[in-house]
Structure 1
Amino acid sequence: MSSSPGRKVVITVRSFDADALDWLRGQDCAVEITDLPPGKTDGDLDQGELCRLLAGAVGWIVGHARVTGALLDALPELRVISRRGVGYERVDIEAARALGRVVAIAAGGNDASVADHAVGLMIAVGRRFRELQDNMAKGDWTILTGGDLCGKTVGLIGLGRIGRSVVRRLSGFDARILVHTPHPDEAYARATGVTYTSLADLLAASDYVSLHAPLTPATRFLIDATAIAAMKPGAILINTARGGLVEDAHLLAALRSGHLGGAGLDVFASESDRAYWSVSQGLLAHPRVVATPHAGASTREGLARTNRIAAELVVAVLNGGDPAPGRCVADGRRTTNQR
């Protein structure tokens, strides 16, 4: 589906709302929206399909597709890649810089949505919602005893925009909040009452451990068998960040052994590594797991915000300007101009 003539911008994400679409078209952009098959994302498109869709495009609003150096090299007219989301581990940032492209993220658009989701998973797992409903559907209305979130110790690994949004929400639960981050902000701690601590101390003391860190080589499988063994017996793990932060096979083993009290998962290692597919299936089958399909950011309101931000980022670059502060992760225009 395309619009009137103009600067070609391709959108390969679902749920791109009419308001953001109309705004983008009003900025002299010829918009083409990819018709994805049911149950598929742009991450399922191979390089040949992406090259065909993006031929002649100067802007691309992308979801989960892998943006490789080879793909960028094959698309010389593409000037800006705008990620509708905040993660960019699937983008070859160095290649984008070397080829003079701009890569931007829709930071700030989905903070509230993901933070709500994280706290919702804490409550759902702690109060055993899944087990209770599954039992009721079988005719067993026995009351299972869960646990309060109120008054508990919650450990947050990472304290970016979403982590801080979670802190605000937890203030209403009288929770003690521990934080492990490479960049502690003492003024923020004084204002909010959070306590910075080591990863080891956080794991040992927390009733809930919630992940809000980016996926990097340093954080891949940050939560593995060793980290899980250090967690408080009966603790609950929440991951709404990136699947690769947790070694899911080790998590499944800890749930089956009873060491952990449950897990709330919006992301899985199998999203980027199909070798973990059977592990994901085991997690989904476990009664103490509440799972969603990477849906934490996907509210009507959150998508509307990120759609508009992603569109504005594209137009800013096409107009010769800069993405808004905090939203540019690579600007090859600077690199190539300096050579």
Structure 2
Amino acid sequence: MMDIKTYNVIAKEGLAEFPTDLYTVNQSQKPQALLIRSQDMHKTPFGTNVLAIARAGAGVNNIPLVQATSAGTVVFNTPGSNANAVKELVLTMLLLASRPVLDAIPWAHKLGGADVSLQTEAGKNHFAGSELLGKSIGVIGLGAVGSRVAKAASDLGMKVIGYDPYISVEHAWQLSNDIPRAESLEDLLAVSDFVTVHVPYTEKNRHLLGKEQVEAMKQDAVLLNYSRSGIVDDAAVLAALAAGKLRLFISDFGTPALVSHKKVIVTPHLGGTTAEAEVNGAKMAARTLRKYLETGNIVNSVNFPTVEMAFEAPLRLTLIHQNVPNMVGRITTILANYNLNIDNMINRSREKIAYTVIDMATVSAEQQAELTKELLHIPEVIRVRFLKNPRA
């Protein structure tokens, strides 16, 4: 039995993905895996016994990736599980940026007396807005969320310009040929009435929209950040709002300076906060954990390479090790010394870490223990696991 420890409230539909004959949930002080949402794992010790951490959501800035990688703990996220929820919220905010509904509603609620309809007719022109039809929108990042936003904005009759130098083939196919892609970020910023950003946070993307980029934006443009805090330089945006360069900034990530500003709309990190998205994320995270724990295959990891190999042999050996020369040779030499034949093998690396999967015939529990000890004696080897194929 393997135990899964959860943090935060995980949708019951996700927990139901763990069959009770193979898994327990929150029953051990030494769980094999963690299933989390927003729990700050920088402040939550998880030890070296944890094989994997799955984040039901896209962002993993709440997980110490360097520490996890060095311990041989695979970290997963669930890209796309909340994409529709974020898309719909971005569309909501685009509409609110065009029509002063937020100001009009409280005004209407203050009306009184028998002549409410007359007061409404007399005052409604104070809340005149504009239409999205025909306006241009620049979508930075055309992944799971950005590609959906681009399509929805196009369906609303907006002129969409996309920019993503790293777009995947999968998401490229989802985009209409009618949506042009800008050659550079500056080209997109110069012509967009609205700019919405949908890229993951990395050190490279920190302040992707900084002082220089904000100043390059179209006069009276509206900027939306429903990606991650830090991708937009808030100080540069506030300066542009004060100078009259930008008309409005809309963000899902509040700071004291932003929440008190009249030209800023802040939502309290609502991007993926829907019942449907929470269920999608929990189910996807659970399935990803099961795949890794039961087969050793890795998909949607943020710190390890993607490794998938059909599990057809009786036994599978997986090794997490440093990405250094001759590691595969040293591993296979040890197996040869035990007269073990390799049925299938795959090795992949990601920066300084590597992962090797080897399929073979059945090996006794005693030999598995001996092999594990000998393989771990290689200084660069971090973790060794043997997995039995239940279908073999």
* Both proteins in one fold, TM over 0.5: yes
What is the CA distance between 1:185 and its match in structure 2? 7.3
Q: Helix, strand or coil for the counterpart of 2:4?
A: strand
Aligned to 1:255: 241
Aligned to 1:108: 80
Q: Deviations over 1:11-68 (max 9, x none)?
A: 2123x222222333536322239xxxxxxxxxxxxxxxxxxxx941211112233444
Aligned to 2:291: 316
CA contact (8 A) 1:63 1:83 kept: yes
Query: Which of 5, 17, 41 in structure 2 is aligned with 1:10?
Result: 5
Aligned to 2:359: none
TM-score (norm 1): 0.78
Question: In 2, Cα distance between the equivalents of 1:79 and 1:185?
Answer: 29
Give the letter aligned to residue 252 of structure 2: D
Q: How does 1:18-29 map to 2 (within 5 A)?
A: 18-24=12-18, 26=20, 28-29=22-23
Runs (5+) with no aligned partner, structure 1: 1-5, 34-53, 269-276
What is the CA distance between 1:305 and its match in structure 2? 0.7
Q: Helix, strand or coil for the counterpart of 1:191?
A: coil
Question: In 2, Cα distance between the equivalents of 1:279 and 1:145?
Answer: 28
Q: Helix, strand or coil for the counterpart of 2:31?
A: coil
Aligned to 2:51: 79
Q: Helix, strand or coil for the counterpart of 1:330?
A: coil
Runs (5+) with no aligned partner, structure 2: 112-119, 306-317, 322-354, 357-380, 382-392
Superposed CA RMSD in Å reads: 2.7
Residues 227 and 76 of structure 1: CA distance in aligned 2, closer, same or farther (over 3 Å): same
Q: Deviations over 1:298-320 (max 9, x none)?
A: 11111111110011112222213
Query: Which of 38, 62, 84 in structure 2 is aligned with 1:64?
Result: 38
Question: In 1, Cα distance between the equivalents of 2:30 and 2:167?
Answer: 45
Give the letter aligned to residue 37 of structure 2: G
CA contact (8 A) 2:141 2:167 kept: no
Aligned to 2:257: 279
- Does residue 136 of structure 2 align to residue 153 of structure 1? yes
Residues 8 and 185 of structure 1: CA distance in aligned 2, closer, same or farther (over 3 Å): closer
Aligned to 2:162: 179
Q: Deviations over 1:171-206 (max 9, x none)?
A: 212222112222367975772432323111211110
Question: In 1, Cα distance between the equivalents of 2:167 and 2:58?
Answer: 21
Greater fraction of residues in helix:
1
Question: In 1, Cα distance between the equivalents of 2:107 and 2:243?
Answer: 22
Question: In 2, Cα distance between the equivalents of 1:71 and 1:97?
Answer: 16
Residues 291 and 138 of structure 1: CA distance in aligned 2, closer, same or farther (over 3 Å): farther
Q: Deviations over 1:242-275 (max 9, x none)?
A: 011112233233334432121221124xxxxxxx
Higher relative contact order (CA 8 A, sep 6+): 1
Query: Which of 208, 211, 214 in structure 2 is aligned with 1:228?
Result: 214
Give the letter aligned to residue 260 of structure 1: L
Residues 138 and 290 of structure 1: CA distance in aligned 2, closer, same or farther (over 3 Å): farther
Q: Helix, strand or coil for the counterpart of 1:167?
A: helix
Q: How does 1:186-201 map to 2 (within 5 A)?
A: 188=173, 191-201=177-187
Aligned to 1:42: none
Question: In 1, Cα distance between the equivalents of 2:108 and 2:29?
Answer: 53
Question: In 2, Cα distance between the equivalents of 1:114 and 1:190?
Answer: 20
Greater fraction of residues in strand:
2
Question: In 2, Cα distance between the equivalents of 1:122 and 1:190?
Answer: 21
Question: In 1, Cα distance between the equivalents of 2:219 and 2:110?
Answer: 30
